[in-house]
Structure 1
Amino acid sequence: MNDIALGPPRCSAGPAPLRRPGSVRRTSSIDVSWPDGRDGDMRFVGRARDLVTPRSGGPAVVCAEDMFEARVTSERKITAIEARPARPAIAQLIGQRGGGRLRGVLTEVMPQERAGATPLYLILDDLSGASLVAGWAWSQWNPDWLATMRAAMNDPEMGKAFKNRENVCIGHVPGSSAFDLDGRVSPSNEAPTPAPDLRHPEDPGGWHAFTRQESVGLRRARRIDVSLDEVIVIDSAFQDSGSTPAGGRAALHEYRLGVTADPKSLRVLSIDAEPRVLPFIECPSAVANLSRLIGTPLPDLREKVLAELAGPAGCTHLNDALRALAEAPALIDLLRDAG
């Protein structure tokens, strides 16, 4: 509790660990940019890849790789989207808006992607969260971003905007530091948290290729490492970061997750979350409720997390990281197939 009292965590974990022999790694990223300027549509480029590292020590094998590119309005409405390899059904997402409903529509129009736990499903499911936080990237390029935001809204509008955020997560409970723009600890009065390169210098192939961001850009990146010993062992990481004028990156959200599960029942045996970078004092408190997930089969995590850790019981970004682990059984199958 002392860490929470002193302020939110502000230290990135840095590069990914070296891959273990006999493991599979799923990496994903969504890179957001504004080709037509701040008032134009956002360009989303999503990439995801499954990479098996054989126990024998042989060369790593790419088992699956997907990509999508989309245009999204400032209101988070999808105006164009396509996937590579092509999936004709993805066109049915055009006209949909980022948010919880988009995830429901995704399940309706592309059920085979969810059933197959494909890399494409992960990055499409993540489009809602990435579109929600994307605008933060501009704060790294405009020192007066807070004053600009205030000038664009009168007091009633600002009050309504804050009211709409109440209880969306544990960091936005009424009275929290998230609603005190002049206050104790907030992104408005702290230096950016450096986000080192996620690629390990001794293992540059441990991540798929990122889109280059030479101007304003947000990146949502995930890594899920799965190995199978006496139990299923999962080491996972999540990060939202923005490009900076100096050429580096600044982190907004970052978590590390450690999970074990039973190989037969797939039920979660243990779960631990390490908050690395979060914006508000209250945010790390969400990890106190993770025990609610013990005993949940991995494939059921998407629904269980939403049922048990919704609103002020959880953290939006931690929840997304937990939900992504529902696809771990598909990664275990890749390991078993590889022998």
Structure 2
Amino acid sequence: MSVPVWITRPDGRPLTGPAAPGGPAVATPPLRPGLVRRTTTHDSLRPAGLAGPVTLDARGRDIRVEADGAATVLDAARVTAEIGGFPARAIARIEADPGHPGLAALVGRGAAAGFRQAVDDALPGERASHSVRHQLLDDLPTALLVSGYALQFDRPARVPPRGLALQYPDLCAGWVAGGTIISGIETTGRVPLPLGPPVPPVDADDPDGWHETEPLPAHGMRRRRRIDVWRAGGERGARVECFFRDSHVDPDGVETAVHEYTVRATVDVATTTFTSCVAEFGALPWSECPGALASAGRLVGRRPDGLRRLVRDTFTGTSTCTHLNDTLRSLEDVGALVAQLPGADTDTGADETST
């Protein structure tokens, strides 16, 4: 077993990020009649060792729970890819089920900057389809980026002269100038390594509530996302709950949270606009990160369509978080999920779900 070289606080304690008073989520709200649910996972694996390429296994599913409690699968997809290391991070292989001939054009392309535009070019109409497959492709570059935590855990990265601290101050709330991560780089020359709280598998109590996944091995990372949409009796709008977690499995098999957010929103069904939107966190890597929560309120009055580009172009700076932004981007598909709800209002018997 490799022992990580921790970048510690002045008093010698490992860096630990904030967790919500109740801690990270321990379960998933049960399936209920009238609910439409999208779940996705991105598993970043290194079967050839930490120095080898990343094998990314992305899976997802949309289901609707009918009045009799039966779940109807509305859409399902899987994307697998092999991605090389730095600096190119080029795609050596990519496949999908359902397949698409345009995927071949992505081979050899970088899986980081410019990848989403490459998907738009290679798979015309994919974004507008609001499909599970598109969500899996859209999340690929950021899931790959976060998978670098596994390398840092094994051996915290030394920053070259005039490196990260100069490139990224004020990129987001966590990278604020003078904050924990920038100060750590400037003081030690290394990227600080946060250690999140242990987390249970949130699908253990109700495996039917998620699509099928494989156990995550040591050094594996998982990006997990759930979007629930439902209508409560007597309400004009639809309710939305989006759960998001990045997690890492250490050499001893312990899974810990790196980022965890839950976004709750309401949507006016007649106008398809957000009438409320709030974000909460379960666990985050830096003490400054919760400062981004208020940015979720900027969705109020907006329509889901075009949200991915809106967030990319305007949710910038220290009042935002790149991982919360990813969560908000995924809400572009809420309109399509609302359209799959049963035609009549369904009173679920509960005013809220919670994680």
Q: Does 1:9 align with 2:19?
A: yes
Q: State the 1:9 CA deviation.
A: 2.6
Residue 79 of structure 2 aligns with which residue? 68
Conserved 8 A contact 2:32-2:69: no
Q: Which piece of structure 1 moves more, 213-222 or 173-182? A: 173-182
Q: Which piece of structure 1 moves more, 56-65 or 38-47? A: 56-65
Q: Does 1:262 align with 2:272?
A: no
Q: Distance between the aligned counterparts of 1:317 and 1:179, measured in 2?
A: 18
Q: State the 1:39 CA deviation.
A: 1.6
Query: How do residues 322-333 of structure 1 correspond to structure 2 at under 5 angstroms?
Result: 322-333=328-339
Q: Distance between the aligned counterparts of 1:266 and 1:100, measured in 2?
A: 31
Q: Which residue identity lines up with residue 172 of structure 1 in the other structure?
A: W
> Residue by residue, what CA displacement relative to the aligned partner does 1:160-214 show, whole Å, maximum 9, x if unpaired?
122222232221122211123388xx9957654111112051x211011113322
Q: Distance between the aligned counterparts of 1:94 and 1:187, measured in 2?
A: 31
Residue 197 of structure 1 aligns with which residue? 201
Q: Which residue identity lines up with residue 253 of structure 2 in the other structure?
A: G
Q: Distance between the aligned counterparts of 1:285 and 1:249, measured in 2?
A: 25
Conserved 8 A contact 1:218-1:241: yes
- How has the CA–CA distance of structure 1 residues 269 and 200 changed in structure 2, closer, same or farther, with 3 Å as cutoff? farther
SS at match of 2:341: helix
Conserved 8 A contact 1:24-1:53: yes
Q: Which residue identity lines up with residue 198 of structure 1 in the other structure?
A: V
SS at match of 1:270: strand
Q: State the 1:215 CA deviation.
A: 2.6
Q: Distance between the aligned counterparts of 1:218 and 1:189, measured in 2?
A: 15
Q: Does 1:35 align with 2:41?
A: no
Q: Distance between the aligned counterparts of 1:159 and 1:134, measured in 2?
A: 24
SS at match of 2:148: helix
SS at match of 2:68: coil
Q: State the 1:8 CA deviation.
A: 2.6
Q: Which residue identity lines up with residue 330 of structure 1 in the other structure?
A: A
Q: State the 1:255 CA deviation.
A: 0.1
Identify unmatched segments of 5+ residues in structure 2: 1-15, 346-355
Superposition RMSD on alpha carbons, in Å? 2.3
Q: State the 1:108 CA deviation.
A: 1.8
- How has the CA–CA distance of structure 1 residues 207 and 255 changed in structure 2, closer, same or farther, with 3 Å as cutoff? same
Residue 61 of structure 2 aligns with which residue? 49
Q: Distance between the aligned counterparts of 1:252 and 1:39, measured in 2?
A: 21
Query: How do residues 135-284 of structure 1 correspond to structure 2 at under 5 angstroms?
Result: 135-140=148-153, 142=154, 145-146=155-156, 149-150=157-158, 157-181=160-184, 188=192, 191-201=195-205, 203-229=206-232, 230=235, 231-284=237-290
- How has the CA–CA distance of structure 1 residues 189 and 78 changed in structure 2, closer, same or farther, with 3 Å as cutoff? closer
Give the structure-2-normalised TM-score.
0.84
Residue 131 of structure 2 aligns with which residue? 118
Q: State the 1:139 CA deviation.
A: 4.7
Q: Distance between the aligned counterparts of 2:173 and 2:184, measured in 1?
A: 17
Q: Which residue identity lines up with residue 171 of structure 1 in the other structure?
A: G
Q: 1:99 aligns with which of 112, 121, 124?
A: 112
Q: Distance between the aligned counterparts of 2:93 and 2:17, measured in 1?
A: 41
Give the structure-1-normalised TM-score.
0.87
* Percent identity of paired positions between Structure 1 and Structure 2: 34
Moved segments of 4+, more than 4 Å: 186-191
Q: State the 1:276 CA deviation.
A: 1.4
SS at match of 2:118: helix
SS at match of 1:180: helix
SS at match of 1:313: coil
Residue 3 of structure 1 aligns with which residue? none
SS at match of 1:181: helix
Q: Distance between the aligned counterparts of 1:207 and 1:304, measured in 2?
A: 29
Conserved 8 A contact 2:17-2:194: no
Q: State the 1:135 CA deviation.
A: 1.6
Q: Distance between the aligned counterparts of 1:189 and 1:24, measured in 2?
A: 37
Residue 320 of structure 1 aligns with which residue? 326
Q: Which residue identity lines up with residue 324 of structure 1 in the other structure?
A: S
How many residues align? The count is 320
Which structure's residues are more often helix, by fraction?
A: 1
